[in-house]
Amino acid sequence: MSDDSLVKVGPADEFADGDHRIVQIGRAEVGVIKAEGEFYAMRNQCPHDGGPVCEGKVQRKLVGEFTGPGERIDQHYSDDCIVSCPWHGWSFDLETGTHIGDDSIVLPMYDVVVEDGVVYVDDGK
């Protein structure tokens, strides 16, 4: 990874958990999100209707397990974080960009680098 492939986002200490910043990489808007102390970057365009997905709510993923007929579904929050598009609620895993209900829908992801207290996104060049 060369330094000229890094796009500066800003100081890491200016991000609280759940915060996001939008940067331009080529023709793509990329959202950088901090969740659970980690930084993630993904295309800021929901495949459903083009909404600004990275501007949505960040939270832990709610999962449920069916235990059998006549039993309640066992629901709990996993350790995985998701972001939900503010337009229509489509939700994506922050680590993989995968839609939580359909594995065939995946947002493009970008590598994030934190160097000397500054957050950068690798533009892949």
The rounded Cα 2 to chain-centroid distance in angstroms is: 24
Max Cα distance, the chain (Å)? 59
Reduce the DSSP state of residue 53 to 3 states and report it. Answer: helix
Place of tokens 């890491």: 12
Question: What is the predicted pLDDT for the residue at 1?
Answer: 46
| C-alpha to C-alpha distance for 103 and 27, rounded to whole angstroms | 25
Show Cβ contacts of residue 72 under 8 Å, excluding neighbours closer than 6 positions.
none
Mean pLDDT of the chain: 90
Question: What is the predicted pLDDT for the residue at 41?
Answer: 97
Q: With pLDDT > 90 as the criterion, what percentage of the chain qualifies?
A: 73
Domain, as residue range, for 104? 3-122
pTM score of the predicted model:
0.85
Number of residues in the chain: 125
What DSSP element (H or E) covers 122? Answer: strand 118-122
Q: pLDDT, tens digit, for every residue of 66-115?
A: 877 887 787 766 788 999 999 999 999 999 999 998 999 999 999 999 99
Distances (CA, A) of 47 to 10, 41, 50, 106: 27, 16, 6, 9
With beta carbons less than 8 A apart as the criterion, state whether 120 and 66 touch: no
Place of tokens 């890094």: 6
Q: How would residue 125 be classed by pLDDT, with cut points 50, 70 and 90? A: low
In this structure, what CATH number is given to the domain that contains residue 84? 2.102.10.10
Number of domains the chain is built from? 1
